């Protein structure tokens, strides 16, 4: 039974405690269903649209998170119901859980995508942290320890909360670090679900529907890890991207190594015990021989008659005394040796028992993981069956890709040929322009001659009229030729612009396609004007510890990136080099900012900034922002479109050969 469609009337904050007690009594009396099976539970207070099955610990964290939520959207009645549910789980359902299969926190979560990449160790992101302006103009906010304590009270058990700072101060964001292993992953996912339940998750933060109030939080994944900005930079420093499947494989390898090591230890201890048992057996045999000799001596002594206290009897008694003394020492030594062997045996036995219990626990865990892997394997088999139908379409897609690559190569060749044709046409246009100017001059001369003839000749003179008609005819022919040349010139200009636009579009598409290629390749994409932060980090490491150095270096890099974007800062001067006719722009070494940077951070940081400003001044002086350019890393220059297309085709051939080998 659930109350998801029950009374929607609300209560006041002061009535929450009384309402919580009533809800708790209803749960104890079995009015609502909480336990679905031995391992699955449900929340009777959530709407039907949000209902899902929980494990015991997940439901406890859900109930505690909603009940202790500080969101104003949560009604007091909903909080009171969930607090009563948490109380019921902690006090009344614990025996039920302990009598069935124990809740093992060391298992990977089953309710999430095992192939989705997450930041490992598990890391959460918190945004919209309130900040305020301090007296010096920098932003300040609450410390990470306060937010960590709050998350611990809510049951998420973070290890550390690290606020992120930039050159303006507190950025209003923080990174939450959880423990390594499956418990940390469970806590991180519960942390994310709690904020999603309050409508303060990642999707809500990205929505542009209303003004954001309160904290928004989620678990860091691949898009956050690869994002540019202060969050992505910090995540790449502290963690790596891994899938749950990869983590399970790594954990299985660790378990195999542990089992192998423990097996070797057990074999060594067993061998040692056998050696001790052999020593004990030999010692027992020696004692039995000594006891037998003692009995023989006593018997011989009793059989010898002594009439008086002769010397023979005294000697015999002395030897017997010495013999007893030696026997006692041997017995004492043997007793101590046995005690030592017994204590060592007990220690080894306890260690073996401990290792045995650990192996049994590991065996149970491995069985569970094998079952989980079998389930995942079945899902994978179903997906493979579904994808088998798509193999033909994938092959067609590969052929289409090959045709597209051939078309790109053909396009590049066509563009090259068109460019050469355009170059030849430009040369022709220049010649035709000269012809046009000569025709215009000749036309003007003809018009002048015509005017002279008209003024000097007589209208009745037939010879003059014939010259006028001939001049007019030549003039019309020259004007017609001039109009044809102008039309051809205009057509060639339009064709050249269209071809140039197509070349630029092809270059942009090639740059977008090669952005993910490693810099170790000869041809790739270089971000012109991007500031290299390594020199700043090295300079800060010489002054501070590693953690503080990273923070200071990040602040300095952000500050200089703002300087590079500033259009009013132009640290160049114009000089005329020897043998050159035109002036050239070079870095002004007397610039105050650059001079202070070199003195404070060193020559390497100075080189990084000057290289970035040179690239911006050359490739994007008006926009002053970083742009991507096709680059030849081997020769250190801008790559041509032909070089980029040839590299792309070589890469395609390499990938095709690898696929053929597999």
Please report, for the chain, the start and end positions of each structural domain, with discontinuous segments joined by +. Answer: 15-98, 117-238, 457-505, 517-660
Q: Is the pLDDT of residue 31 over 50?
A: yes
**Of residues 195, 58, 191, 188, the one with CA closest to residue 122:** 188
Residue 519: pLDDT band (50, 70, 90) is low
Q: Which of 256-265, 430-439, 478-487 has the highest mean pLDDT?
A: 256-265
Q: List beta partners, residue 169.
A: 139, 166
Residues of the chain by 3-state class (helix, strand, coil), percent to 5: 65, 10, 25
Work out the burial of residue 117: count CB atoms within 10 Å of its CB; fewer than 13 is exposed, 13-18 middle, 19 or more buried.
middle
Residue 412 has a pLDDT of 64
Is the pLDDT at 85 greater than 80? The verdict is yes
Quote the pLDDT of residue 30. 78
Tell me what pLDDT residue 660 has.
65
Q: Beta strand pairing status for 169-177 and 123-127?
A: antiparallel
Most confidently predicted of 44-48, 143-147, 341-345, 386-390: 143-147
At 286 the pLDDT is: 79
Provide the β-strand partners of residue 221.
Answer: 118
pLDDT at 201 over 70: yes
Residue 49 pLDDT level (bands cut at 50, 70, 90): very low
Mean residue pLDDT across the chain: 77
- Of residues 99 and 557, more confidence is placed in 557
Cα–Cα distance, 19 to 431 (Å, whole number): 97
Above 60 in pLDDT, residue 5? no
What is the pLDDT, as a whole number, of residue 177?
A: 92
- Whole-model pTM: value is 0.33
Q: Is the pLDDT of residue 504 over 70?
A: yes
**pLDDT band for position 175 (50/70/90)?**
very high
Averaged pLDDT, 340-358: 75
Which of 30-39, 134-143, 265-274, 421-430 is least confident? 421-430
Instruction: Out of 91-105, 167-181, 569-583, give the one with best mean pLDDT.
Output: 167-181
Cα(577)–Cα(580) distance, integer angstroms: 5
The pLDDT, as a whole number, for residue 398 is 59
For the ranges 132-136, 389-393, 646-650, which has the lowest average pLDDT?
A: 389-393
pLDDT at 124 (0 to 100)? 94
- Cβ neighbors of 552 (< 8 A, separation 6 or more) are 540, 543, 544
Cβ atoms < 10 Å from Cβ of 147: 20
| Residue 639 confidence (pLDDT) above 70 | yes
Check pLDDT > 60 for residue 50: no
Q: Over 70: is that where the pLDDT of 573 sits?
A: yes
Distance CA 415, CA 409 (A): 10
Nearest C-alpha neighbor of 180 from the set 201, 159, 165: 159
- Residue 328's pLDDT is 76
Q: What is the DSSP string of 595-613?
A: HHHHHHH-HHHHHHHHHHH
Please name every residue paired with 119 in a beta bridge, in sequence order, or none if there are none.
241
Q: Which residues contact 198 (CB under 8 A, 6 or more apart)?
A: 66, 69, 71, 73, 74, 214
Maximum mean pLDDT: which of 21-35, 309-323, 533-547, 626-640: 533-547
- Using the predicted structure, report yes or no on whether residue 97 has a pLDDT greater than 50: no
Cα separation, 467 vs 40, whole angstroms: 113
The answer to whether the beta carbons of residues 555 and 165 sit under 8 Å apart is yes
Q: Is the predicted pLDDT of residue 563 greater than 80, yes or no?
A: yes
pLDDT-derived band at 98 (thresholds 50, 70, 90) equals very low
Q: What pLDDT, on a 0 to 100 scale, did the predictor assign at position 125?
A: 94
- Name the H helices within 457-545: 462-513, 534-541
* More confident site: 73 or 304: 73
If you average pLDDT over each of 240-244, 310-314, 525-529, which comes out highest? Answer: 240-244
pLDDT at 652 > cutoff 50: yes
Tell me the DSSP string of 221-278.
BHHHHH-SSHHHHHHHHH-EEE-HHHHHHHHHHHHHHHHHHHHHHHHHHHHHHHHHHH
In this predicted model, which residue has the larger pLDDT, 260 or 188? Answer: 188
Mean per-residue pLDDT, 362-374? 74
- Residues 398-425 have pLDDT tens digits of 565 566 566 666 666 766 676 677 667 6
Ramachandran assignment for 130, one of left (phi > 0), alpha (psi -120 to 50 degrees), beta (any other): beta
Higher pLDDT, 472 or 59: 59
Give the confidence band of 95 by pLDDT, cuts at 50, 70, 90: very low
Selected residue with higher pLDDT from 387 and 160: 160
Pairing of the two strands 637-638 and 572-575: unpaired
The CATH H-level (homologous superfamily) assignment of domain 117-238 is XS domain (3.30.70.2890)
Least confident interval from 368-377, 513-522, 562-571 = 513-522
Residue 101 has pLDDT above 50, yes or no: no
Show the tokens assigned to 580: 């050159």
What end-to-end distance do the CA atoms of the chain give, in Å? Answer: 56
How far apart are alpha carbons 515 and 525 in whole angstroms? 6
78-82, 375-379, 418-422: least confident range = 418-422
Question: Which position has the higher pLDDT, 267 or 460?
Answer: 267
Return the pLDDT at 346.
77
- Binned at pLDDT 50, 70 and 90, residue 302 comes out as low
Does the structure show a pLDDT above 50 at 434? yes
- Percent of the chain at pLDDT > 70 equals 78
Phi/psi at 445 (5° precision): -65, -40
d(CA 99, CA 281): 47
Give the H or E element holding residue 87: helix 76-91
Could you give the count of Cα atoms lying within 13 Å of 535 in the half-sphere of its Cβ? 17
Cβ neighbours of residue 435 closer than 8 Å, sequence gap 6 or more: 485
Higher per-residue confidence, 243 vs 514: 243
User: In angstroms, what is the C-alpha Rg of the chain?
Assistant: 45
Residue, of 137 and 318, whose pLDDT is higher: 137
Q: Mean per-residue pLDDT for 197-212?
A: 83
Q: Look at residue 482 and tell me whether its pLDDT is greater than 80.
A: no
For residue 69, is pLDDT > 90?
no
CB environment 505-532: b (16+ within 10 A), e (fewer): ebbeebbeebeeeeeeeebbbbebbbbe
């Amino acid at each position: 039974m659930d109350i998801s469609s029950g009374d929607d009337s609300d209560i006041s904050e002061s009535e929450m405690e009384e309402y919580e007690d009533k809800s708790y009594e209803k749960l104890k009396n079995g009015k609502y269903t909480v336990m679905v099976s031995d391992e699955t539970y449900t929340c009777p207070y959530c709407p039907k649209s949000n209902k899902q099955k929980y494990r015991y610990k997940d439901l406890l964290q859900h109930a505690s998170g909603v009940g202790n939520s500080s969101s104003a959207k949560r009604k007091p009645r909903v909080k009171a119901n969930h607090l009563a549910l948490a109380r019921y789980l902690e006090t009344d359902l614990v025996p039920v859980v302990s009598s069935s299969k124990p809740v093992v926190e060391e298992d990977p979560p089953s309710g999430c995508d095992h192939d989705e990449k997450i930041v490992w160790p598990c890391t959460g992101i918190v945004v919209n942290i309130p900040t305020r302006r301090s007296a010096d103009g920098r932003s300040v906010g609450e410390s990470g320890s306060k937010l960590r304590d709050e998350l611990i009270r809510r049951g998420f058990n973070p290890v550390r909360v690290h606020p992120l700072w930039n050159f303006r101060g507190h950025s209003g964001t923080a990174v939450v670090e959880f423990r390594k292993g499956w418990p940390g992953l469970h806590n991180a996912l519960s942390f994310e679900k709690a904020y999603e339940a309050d409508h303060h998750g990642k999707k809500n933060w990205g929505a542009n529907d209303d003004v954001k109030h309160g904290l928004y939080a989620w678990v860091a994944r691949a898009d956050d890890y690869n994002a540019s900005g202060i969050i992505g930079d910090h995540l790449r420093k502290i963690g790596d991207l891994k899938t749950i499947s990869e983590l399970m494989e790594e954990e299985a390898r660790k378990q195999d190594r542990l089992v192998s090591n423990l097996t070797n230890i057990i074999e060594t201890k067993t061998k040692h015990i056998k050696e001790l048992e052999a020593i004990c057996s030999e010692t027992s045999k020696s004692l039995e021989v000594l006891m037998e000799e003692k009995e023989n001596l006593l018997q011989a002594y009793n059989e010898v008659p002594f009439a008086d206290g002769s010397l023979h009897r005294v000697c015999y008694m002395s030897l017997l005394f010495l013999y007893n003394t030696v026997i006692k020492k041997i017995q004492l030594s043997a007793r101590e040796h046995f005690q030592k062997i017994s204590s060592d045996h007990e220690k080894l036995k306890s260690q073996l028992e401990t290792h045995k219990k650990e192996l049994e626990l590991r065996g149970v865990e491995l069985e569970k993981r094998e079952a989980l892997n079998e389930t995942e394997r079945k899902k994978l088999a179903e997906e493979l069956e579904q994808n088998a139908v798509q193999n033909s379409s994938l092959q067609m897609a590969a052929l289409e890709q090959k045709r597209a690559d051939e078309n790109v190569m053909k396009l590049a060749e066509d563009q090259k040929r068109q460019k050469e044709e355009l170059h030849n046409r430009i040369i022709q246009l220049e010649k035709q322009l000269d012809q046009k100017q000569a025709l215009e001059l000749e036309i003007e001369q003809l018009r002048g001659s015509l005017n002279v003839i008209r003024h000097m000749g007589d209208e009745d003179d037939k010879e003059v009229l014939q010259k006028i008609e001939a001049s007019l005819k030549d003039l019309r022919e020259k004007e017609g030729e001039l109009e044809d040349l102008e039309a051809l010139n205009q057509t060639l200009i339009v064709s050249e612009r269209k071809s140039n636009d197509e070349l630029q579009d092809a270059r942009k598409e090639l740059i977008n396609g090669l952005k993910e290629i490693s810099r170790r390749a000869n041809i790739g994409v270089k971000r012109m004007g991007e500031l290299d932060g390594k020199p700043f980090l090295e300079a800060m490491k010489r002054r501070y510890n590693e953690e503080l150095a990273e923070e200071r270096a990040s602040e300095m890099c952000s500050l200089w990136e703002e300087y590079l974007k500033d259009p009013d800062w132009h640290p160049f001067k114009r000089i005329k080099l020897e043998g050159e006719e035109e002036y050239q722009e070079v870095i002004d070494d007397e610039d105050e900012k650059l001079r202070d940077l070199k003195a404070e951070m060193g020559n390497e940081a100075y080189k990084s900034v000057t290289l970035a400003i040179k690239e911006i001044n050359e490739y994007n002086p008006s926009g002053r922002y970083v742009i991507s350019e096709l680059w030849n890393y081997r020769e250190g220059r801008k790559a041509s479109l032909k070089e980029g297309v040839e590299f792309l085709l070589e890469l395609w051939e390499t990938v095709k050969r690898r696929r053929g080998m597999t």
